[in-house]
């Protein structure tokens, strides 16, 4: 249900649309306020206050959310708490995000965009063995860098992921994409004579699963082999020379 409300502040009147909705987390009925503007003809001659820049307001909400998830469990954080932390009205939150889940997705996407800018290009020409070992290590360090910048944000994603089928499907798609990139890269290493990987697809899937499990363990329990250990595993699995298969014994 939606209706309009007029509020008088000083000599001016402001219009808001109020919508009632049921909070899926608490099952309580809440109200969402949307600012509609100054009442026509009210406060004539008075210049309206300058509205905050939309991108700046969105950024404030995202930063406030990141600060909160660094201190509290994701399930305990509400849209109102984020707005308060950002120094904004509760209704302002809903101009930018439908709920805290959409805010979490936006925060994760922003971090991934930052990492993509420094992500090594697996499609670029193959270099020397040393260059390719460095390229793979750089990629792994980038993967471990983003949860380390804000472990609370990563933990929030893990918590939401476990209870949200849509997020799980999104994660599966990203894992499959990463495995496909590695598979193509391993095949190119084989073709260049730098690696001797018998089953590129199988190895890519196994290493991708290893990284995902290691990251989750690190930021949920605090225990993991970390990027150095994972990088060593990758290096041996991809670049270690393969022993030739023994010739079958000939029975006379």
**Higher pLDDT, residue 5 or 175:** 175
Q: Please report, to the nearest 10 degrees, the dihedral formed by the alpha carbons of residues 34, 40, 45, 48 taken in order.
A: 10
For 52-117, the fitting CATH number among 3.30.499.10, 3.40.50.970, 1.10.357.10, 1.20.1060.10 is 1.10.357.10
Q: Are 102 and 80 in contact (CB under 8 A)?
A: no
- Residue 117's Cβ-count burial label (10 Å; 0-12, 13-18, 19+) is exposed
For residue range 141-178, list pLDDT tens digits in order: 777 766 556 778 888 888 888 788 888 888 888 888 88
**CA dist list (Å): 218 to 114, 122, 154, 229:** 21, 26, 10, 12
Segment (H or E) for 205? helix 200-221
Average pLDDT, the chain: 78
For the domain spanning 118-239, the CATH number is 1.10.357.10
Q: Are 228 and 138 in contact (CB under 8 A)?
A: no
Domain residue ranges in the chain:
1-51, 52-117, 118-239
**Higher pLDDT, residue 102 or 161:** 102
Least confident of 47-51, 60-64, 180-184, 242-246: 47-51
Cα–Cα dist 80/151, whole Å = 22
Cα–Cα dist 17/91, whole Å = 10
This prediction has a pTM of: 0.63
- Percent above pLDDT 90 for the chain: 31
Q: Do domains 52-117 and 118-239 have the same CATH topology?
A: yes
pLDDT value at 113 more than 80? no
Cα–Cα dist 238/202, whole Å = 12
């Amino acid at each position: 249900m939606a209706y309009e409300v007029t509020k008088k502040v000083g000599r001016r009147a402001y219009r808001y649309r109020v919508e009632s909705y049921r909070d899926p987390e608490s099952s309580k009925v809440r109200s969402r306020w949307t600012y509609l503007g100054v009442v026509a003809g009210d406060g004539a001659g008075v210049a309206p206050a300058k509205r905050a820049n939309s991108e700046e307001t969105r950024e404030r909400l995202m930063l406030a959310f990141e600060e909160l998830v660094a201190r509290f469990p994701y399930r305990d954080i509400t849209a109102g708490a984020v707005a308060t932390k950002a120094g904004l009205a509760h209704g302002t939150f809903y101009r930018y995000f439908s709920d805290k889940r959409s805010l979490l997705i936006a925060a994760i996407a922003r971090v991934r965009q930052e990492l993509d800018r420094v992500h090594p290009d697996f499609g670029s020409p193959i270099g020397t063995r040393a260059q390719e070992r460095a390229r793979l290590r750089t990629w792994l360090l980038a993967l471990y860098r983003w949860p380390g910048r804000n472990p609370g944000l990563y933990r929030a994603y893990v918590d939401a992921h476990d209870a949200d089928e849509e997020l799980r499907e999104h994660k599966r798609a990203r894992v499959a994409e990463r495995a496909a990139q590695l598979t193509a890269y391993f095949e190119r290493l084989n073709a260049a004579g730098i690696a001797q990987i018998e089953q590129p697809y199988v190895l890519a899937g196994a290493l991708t699963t290893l990284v995902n499990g290691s990251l989750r363990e690190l930021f949920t329990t605090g225990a993991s082999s970390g990027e150095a250990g994972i990088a060593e595993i990758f290096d041996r699995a991809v670049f270690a020379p393969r022993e030739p298969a023994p010739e079958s014994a000939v029975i006379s």
